[in-house]
Structures are given as C-alpha cells and as structure tokens.
Amino acid sequence: MEINSDPSSGRFPMQIEMPRTMSMLARQQVFSYWRGPRNIDAVINAAEQFHGWQTLALDVRMNHGLDPEFESRSVYGIIHNESEESAILRAVYWNQSTERRKMMQHGFNYVFGMPARFVRVSADQLRTWVTCFAGVSIFIDPTWGTDVPEPIRRLRIESDYYASILETTWATGAKADRELDQRWETVWEDMTKSLRSAPVVHVLQEKYPTVEGTPRYDLDAYRPDAFRRHSDG
C-alpha cells in the first residue's frame, strides 16, 4: 500500500510493506492482540451487563525472534467501584513454531485463531490479586543492547488510569527481582485455577484504542498449563 504526498510540502511518500506469507500475516495479527484490548463489554448473565478496563496483566515470553512463544493473562474490571461484583480474566497463548507447522500442513485451509479463554471472576478476586503486589520493590536497571534475556515476565497494574499505573518487565529468576517473581508466580497459579474452573464468558466485545480489525480466537485450543514449563523459570 502506498500513501501519496504533496511534493510541495516537503514530505516523502511512505511505503508500507504488506505481509508476504501466511506466517507473517499471522504474526502481525498476534502482536496486534496479545496484550489485550483497552476495555471489555460483556454479558455475564441475563441480569448483569459488564464493562471494565485492563486493571491487571501478567505476561511470560520466550523466543523473541522468529518463533515467539508467550502467554498473556489480563483481568478487566473497575477496581475502585465497590458495588462492582464481577471481573473478566482473559488469557491468550501463542506458539509460533507450532502454528507454522499447522500452516504447512493445512496450507490455504489453515484457520488463524489464538488459543484463548475468557472467564468470570469476582471483583474481590481482582482486588486480592492486585493487593498481592502491594509494597513489592521494583528494581530498575536501564540497559541497551541486542541481548534479550529469556524467559521474561511482565507485570502491569492500572488501578486508576489517572494516578496509579505501573508496568515492569524483567528476566525470570533475576536475583534483584526474586520477591517480585514469587508474588507473580502466586497470582499466576491462582489464575490457572480460575481458568480451569471459573464460568466461561461467551458474549463479549473487545475495544481497542485504534481500529485493529476483528480478533480471532480458538476457545477450544487453550490449555491453562500450556506454558507452565516456562513460567516456572
């Protein structure tokens, strides 16, 4: 796709390279959606309509090059609203090498879909998970270079989008982040239990900050322990 410009304005035309293969197209969609939408609207049951933003997110990633593997678990809710009863836990998983084999096997019959699950948890559970990180020390080590540690973990908390936002990423097992690792693992395991047993949410709408297209999920393919061997460090 080419974007034309006015030569008299001193601006140059920009070429946007389109994905050349099915694998590249899948990667483009994956990285558009893996961190999750800004908000979720859902139908919990006939009497309860849900709206919430991404309050808490835990990610784990491996193989940051051509074959990324990762899982992202994020919880949507309104944590400061004491009358709110529900929150939604969203989990998505991706293994690029596995999906590439499926693409080669099925060719044009391959259907893209990120393994995912959406379950209802209580708003109190969300508050408990956020509180698990209260008072933890965050070690900041500004580094630049080509060496990316792996696996890496990420924590993001947005309990109030005006005044309380925290995001940090670190190498799993780093001594300086040992306490953060332990708390992260505790919450991750609790989320695993919820993903196995909590009520599944089927009717929902994800809202992204910009138009991203329509996410495609494979709700039958998700397994809560698919990434366990890496989340244990």
Each residue of 39-80: pLDDT tens digit?
Answer: 999 988 777 889 999 999 999 988 766 778 889 999 999 988
Q: Give the N- to C-terminal CA distance of the chain in Å, as an integer.
A: 42
- Give the pLDDT of residue 13: 45
**Strand blocks (E) in the chain:** 2-3, 14-15, 39-45, 48-62, 69-77, 86-95, 114-122, 152-160, 164-171, 204-207, 217-218
Residue-level pLDDT at 27: 62
Alpha-carbon gap, residue 72 to 50, rounded angstroms:
21
Mean pLDDT of 83-98: 90
At 12 the pLDDT is: 39
Residues 161-218: tens digit of each pLDDT: 777 888 998 888 777 788 999 999 999 999 999 999 999 998 899 988 765 566 788 8
- Quote the DSSP letter at residue 12: P
Each residue of 118-168: pLDDT tens digit? 999 999 999 999 999 998 888 877 766 556 667 889 999 998 777 788 899
